[in-house]
Amino acid sequence: MKIPFTYIARNLWNRRLTTALTAGGMALVVFVFAAVLMLDAGLKKTLVGTGSWDNAILLRQGAQTEIQSGVSRDQASLVETLPEVSRDSSGNPLSSKEIVVLIGAPKKGDTKPQNVIVRGMSPNGILLRPQAKLIEGRWMQPGASEIVVGKSVNAGFANMEIGDSIRFAARDWRIVGVFDGQSSGFDSEAWGDVEQLSQAFRRVAYSSMIVRMVDPGALERIQKSIEGDVRLKLDVKAEPAFYEEQSKALSTFLSILGLTLSIIFSIGAIIGAAITMYSAVASRIGEIGTLRALGFRRASILVAFLGESMLLAMVGGLVGLLAASFLQLFTVSTLNFASFSQLAFGFHLTPIIVVQSLVFALVMGVIGGFLPSFKAARMEIVDSLRAG
């Protein structure tokens, strides 16, 4: 004979204060657990969303980042002749030769400079990034010392408004526009003309090259063409795959930090759940004896008390998830280990994180409630009735 669920829920309701305190402790743990997962998901969404599967990125062989890479002008010209590179209506290759440099800029309210990526690109560079939408001002003009900044740079750094001038590489660069990268890594960059930036930084080679492929299967053909040409010692990757690799170091750090914090906090939550359930067992010894006398089996007693602990954990898990969902309203900025620049990204709640967080809460409930439930199930009928 099974004990009704209403009996389990009613017992938790009768101990509202204890239930609220224990569920609150579990909610805090689930909040931390979900927050770290959401931060990791937000990071990956931001970086993977930076690229387009229609584009391929070319870097020097063995280079892990654009900062480390070098693509010569001759190599760039050869790549543009490949049949796998898409062309516009005039027959010109849809490609962008780019350089990536770091400059120091002070954040708002802080005089200490932080690294910002400045990307020099060919005129087609904007066309190859359809997710970037101009929200204020205009795009930079080729041949001019002008830059446009992503919305995160505009919001987070001083002197990054339209009309402001910033000085780097012995030149003054005028900000003429602000663009929205649709929550991608481009929001944390500034863009300018590749030739002007090359001259200012005295670069004889590009950092990377972006090409639009003629079809999704062209990536493998481009890789084979480059492997067969000794002049092209380059690595070719799909743009989103490249940016996903850039997230690995920071993602690993966040995962380890989150796991460590969650384990430490969960120990306290499990102890709290165990204390709550031991208290419930001690105060209901007579009730347990009565249930046994009415014919309820030991397994039913075990399931009932374990169910209370799991229901308690589920309530805490739902509250923690609800609180964590509001983190999506905030954006954080941290150092990107791959480029050593500031990267702005937000929290992102996914269905998988919801499931993982609730399972994590239930596991805490099972671990914290098993021993008290087992103790309740092992009580003898006569002893329970006497003690009650």
The confidence score (pLDDT) of residue 384 equals 47
Mean pLDDT of 139-145: 92
The confidence score (pLDDT) of residue 354 equals 93
Does residue 322 belong to any structural domain of this protein?
yes
The confidence score (pLDDT) of residue 318 equals 92
Residue that is last in its domain, among 197, 215, 233? 215
Question: Are residue 11 and residue 79 in the same domain, yes or no?
Answer: no
The two structure tokens encoding residue 304: 């009932």
The confidence score (pLDDT) of residue 323 equals 92
Higher pLDDT, 3 or 278: 278
Question: Are residue 60 and residue 209 in the same domain, yes or no?
Answer: yes
The confidence score (pLDDT) of residue 174 equals 95
339, 306 Cβ separation under 8 angstroms: no
The confidence score (pLDDT) of residue 201 equals 92
Question: Are residue 91 and residue 195 in the same domain, yes or no?
Answer: yes
Question: Are residue 174 and residue 308 in the same domain, yes or no?
Answer: no
The confidence score (pLDDT) of residue 16 equals 66
The confidence score (pLDDT) of residue 284 equals 57
Does residue 170 belong to any structural domain of this protein?
yes
Give the chain's domain count. Answer: 2
User: Hunting for tokens 């249930």 — which residue is that?
Assistant: 291
The confidence score (pLDDT) of residue 264 equals 82
Does residue 230 belong to any structural domain of this protein?
no
Which residues span the domain enclosing 28? 5-48+248-387
Does residue 232 belong to any structural domain of this protein?
no
293-310: pLDDT as tens digits? 555 566 666 666 677 778
Local confidence band at 283 (pLDDT 50, 70, 90 cut-offs):
low
69-114: pLDDT as tens digits? 999 999 999 999 999 999 988 889 999 999 999 988 888 877 788 8
Q: Is the pLDDT of residue 240 over 90?
A: no
Question: Are residue 164 and residue 193 in the same domain, yes or no?
Answer: yes
Question: Are residue 168 and residue 121 in the same domain, yes or no?
Answer: yes
Q: Confirm whether pTM is higher than 0.85.
A: no
Task: State what percent of residues in the chain have pLDDT above 90.
Answer: 32
Question: Are residue 80 and residue 32 in the same domain, yes or no?
Answer: no
Does residue 89 belong to any structural domain of this protein?
yes
Average pLDDT across the chain, whole number: 82
220 half-sphere exposure, CB direction, 13 A CA radius: 2
The confidence score (pLDDT) of residue 205 equals 92
330-381: pLDDT as tens digits? 877 776 656 656 677 788 899 999 999 999 888 888 887 767 666 665 655 5
Backbone dihedral region for residue 4 (phi beyond 0: left; psi -120 to 50: alpha; all else: beta) = beta
Return d(Cα 343, Cα 323) in angstroms, integer. 25
Return d(Cα 206, Cα 99) in angstroms, integer. 5
Does residue 144 belong to any structural domain of this protein?
yes
Question: Are residue 300 and residue 382 in the same domain, yes or no?
Answer: yes
The confidence score (pLDDT) of residue 258 equals 77
The confidence score (pLDDT) of residue 287 equals 58
Cα angle for residues 141, 73, 103 (degrees, 5° grid): 55
Question: Are residue 74 and residue 208 in the same domain, yes or no?
Answer: yes
Question: Are residue 68 and residue 183 in the same domain, yes or no?
Answer: yes
Mean pLDDT of 167-194: 91
The confidence score (pLDDT) of residue 184 equals 82
Question: Are residue 149 and residue 289 in the same domain, yes or no?
Answer: no
Does residue 241 belong to any structural domain of this protein?
no
Residue that is last in its domain, among 163, 192, 215? 215
Return d(Cα 380, Cα 241) in angstroms, integer. 62
Does residue 231 belong to any structural domain of this protein?
no
Question: Are residue 263 and residue 165 in the same domain, yes or no?
Answer: no
Q: Is the pLDDT of residue 161 over 90?
A: yes
344 half-sphere exposure, CB direction, 13 A CA radius: 22
